[in-house]
Structure 1
């Protein structure tokens, strides 16, 4: 299964995405294109202190390139950490 299919399957759900460079992003999937997934941030987005104010410049949320994704976890999995 591709990351595109995975992101489409969990559209509207809270997920954590780990990029190939090690950055982690947590948020609700708001939109998916052929090249990007868009997250509405939850809490401390990506460990850089971006909050709800950072969401507004993009209508669908913060874009993440599908090619940069190295890992994908459902938000429920975060409760086990």
Structure 2
């Protein structure tokens, strides 16, 4: 969990692609990170337009994969 906490803090404000342990995929900009969740502002794609001003909390313990931007480099 600390690993993803550090990564999410490092890339706060950037567009990411997160896959949870159940296989659900989330695309958005990291707007906040706390000890238990990362909060994404959803986007239609990595450079696309947002769906509004709401955020989606994703439990750090549930993250199974993390990609930065459109490059899809898995960390």
Q: TM-score, normalised by structure 1?
A: 0.75
How far 1:76 moved relative to its partner?
A: 2.6
- The match for 1:52 is 51
- The match for 2:64 is 70
Runs of 4+ in structure 1 deviating by more than 3 angstroms, as ranges, are none
**Which structure dedicates a bigger proportion of its chain to helix?**
1
- The match for 1:40 is 41
Q: TM-score, normalised by structure 2?
A: 0.81
- The match for 2:26 is 25
State how far apart, in whole Å, the 2-side matches of 1:38 and 1:65 are.
9
How far 1:77 moved relative to its partner?
A: 1.4
How far 1:69 moved relative to its partner?
A: 0.1
| Structure 2 gaps, min length 5 | none
**Which structure dedicates a bigger proportion of its chain to strand?**
2
